[in-house]
Amino acid sequence: MVGRLILILGDQLSDDLSALREADPARDTIVMAEVMGEAAYVPHHPKKIAFLFAAMRKFAARLEGQGWRVLYTRLDDPENTQSIPGELIRRASETGAVEVLATEPGEFRLIAALEDCPIPVHLFPDDRFLCSHAEFDAWAEGRKELRMEWFYREMRRKTGLLMQGDKPEGGKWNYDHDNRKPAPGEITFDGPMRFAPDETVEEVLALVEERFAGNFGTLRPFWFATDRDGAVAALGHFIANALPRFGDYQDAMLDENRFLYHSVISMYLNAGLLHWREICAAAEAAYRANEAPLNAVEGFIRQIIGWREYMRGIYFHEGPGYTSMNALGHDRKLPDFYWTGDTDMRCLSRAIEQTRDEAYAHHIQRLMITGNFALLAGIDPHQVHEWYLAVYADAFEWVEAPNVIGMSQFADGGIVGSKPYVSGGNYIHKMSDYCKKCAYEIGDKSGDKACPYNYLYWAFLYRHRENFGRNPRMAQMYRTWMRMSEDKRKATLDSAEAFLGRLDRGARV
């Protein structure tokens, strides 16, 4: 009997992959490939490319050690067709295989490519997730609002995580109110675990330096784990050393500290080196052993079985057109400084510089710094989406797109959020120390030296008053606007218009 091809993608580096369970190592052949079609459809950060290529090579070696036959294509292989369907066709010709087994990709673009492949590709559900597509669709059916909080509670009940019978641990489902403290004077965590590049990683780094030298992002120093053992060690490092204070300061930002108490394990989870269940179990065990407080553990688990699962559910529930949504009609070009960090707005420059150097920024930097500015300035949400997809090591479309199109840019018209996540400079000032070194004055509300977030915030509300004027969660802000004097309102709108004019001309802002 002719064997089959088993396709494994770069974010499917898991021993328990559904396609592997359907395969027979005695007759089937695994296909893995580094291709430009995946590495360059957006200009991915060099660290992201290096992480995935190195992890893929090590996972292929792991499978070979388990007795599998693996046909692995390196990016610089002269026979490389540079696309996933092309490599499947080539390997089928070599082996005589007439069908492919694959676990469903996390992006509609690649699902469509496999469906159009001349060789039949049988897709199996990606059951590494807690919530299946059918389960999410059933939860969403008939609901007027698809709010994450209600979904999260269902996932808590399903898993039993932090539950006492049918009641939440501590009597509350959500301890977010306790997790909004500004950064403390001293951070006692030295950051995520770092790994020295081995021979495999060094080979990949040299390849990435050669082929992706023009991409946004600093490749070296490279410190990510690139195999399961390293990812497990990184998780243990976070649980033991940072989780106890993660909750209190998860929304805080510091000019001179890029990681605070964050785990920085999302790229390992999203690539398949870690499983959601083992992460959540480790966090819950720390709580049960009185080694981490409930607010920290609940907040951490919520990000994984709440937000992460919810975002995937939204992506597949809404379908391929989701990334093209633009409910607010925003069409301004993404400013060049998103690729350089060359702006006088300290918070933006520091978040972008961190992104350039680490392929990482935490959720508040993404939502309330880079995302908030893009929304206030009316940037085309699809361009914002593609920027986030390109620059972060943990970004795959199934998780990135709903976070950006929905939560960050409100381009889905309220599917994800009941109101846009916008703020003036005061929020940034409260949660960070960026403003201390900024060229703009946080206390000024209009004029050339005023913090641009201040007047852009009010101009955004004014511009979209028909959209949000009747939103009960925003009514107070519109009442505040109407209580301002006519001169103050005019100065605010004039300042916003002048700033956006400079932005459109490409002047430094």
Which phi-psi region, left, alpha or beta, contains residue 264 (left: φ > 0; alpha: ψ -120 to 50)?
A: left
Q: Dihedrals φ, ψ of 202, to 5°?
A: -60, -40
Supply the pLDDT for residue 21.
97
Q: What does DSSP assign to residue 441?
A: B
Supply the pLDDT for residue 179.
87
Q: What is the CATH number of domain 5-124?
A: 3.40.50.620
**Kind of pairing, strands 100-103 and 5-7?**
parallel
Residue 505: pLDDT over 60: yes
Residue 7 host element (H or E): strand 5-7
Q: How far apart are CA 58 and CA 190, in angstroms?
A: 28
Residue whose pair of structure tokens reads 């977010």 in the numeric block? 176
Per-residue pLDDT tens over the stretch 33-75:
999 999 999 999 999 999 999 999 999 999 999 999 999 999 9
Q: What is the CATH number of domain 133-191+242-318?
A: 1.25.40.80
Q: Dihedrals φ, ψ of 113, to 5°?
A: -65, -40
**Percent of the chain residues past pLDDT 70, beyond the cut:** 100
Q: Please give the mean pLDDT across all residues of the chain.
A: 97
Q: 0.85 exceeded by the pTM?
A: yes
Supply the pLDDT for residue 324.
97
The alpha carbon of 301 is separated from its chain's Cα centroid by a whole number of angstroms, namely 16
Q: What does DSSP assign to residue 61?
A: H
Per-residue pLDDT tens over the stretch 83-95:
999 999 999 999 9
Question: Could you tell me the two tokens for 430?
Answer: 């409260």
How close are the terminal C-alpha atoms of the chain, in Å? 66
Distances (CA, A) of 498 to 331, 361, 441: 18, 30, 17
Q: What is the CATH number of domain 336-505?
A: 1.10.579.10
Per-residue pLDDT tens over the stretch 139-149:
999 999 999 99
Output 14-17 pairs: Cβ under 8 A, ≥24 positions apart: 14/128, 14/272, 14/273, 14/275, 15/62, 16/128, 16/275, 17/103, 17/128, 17/272
Supply the pLDDT for residue 1.
54
Q: Which residues pair with 31 in a beta bridge?
A: 7, 71
Per-residue pLDDT tens over the stretch 201-244:
999 999 999 999 999 999 999 999 999 999 999 999 999 999 99
Across 300-316, average pLDDT: 98
| Angle at alpha carbon of residue 227, lines to 225 and 257, rounded to 5° | 15
* Other CB atoms within 10 A of residue 290 CB: 7
Domain positions in the chain: 5-124, 133-191+242-318, 336-505
Supply the pLDDT for residue 32.
98
* Other CB atoms within 10 A of residue 482 CB: 8
Per-residue pLDDT tens over the stretch 364-381:
999 999 999 999 999 999
Q: How far apart are CA 50 and CA 248, in angstroms?
A: 33
Residue whose pair of structure tokens reads 């070194």 in the numeric block? 437
Nearest C-alpha neighbor of 270 from the set 393, 367, 152: 393
Supply the pLDDT for residue 183.
85
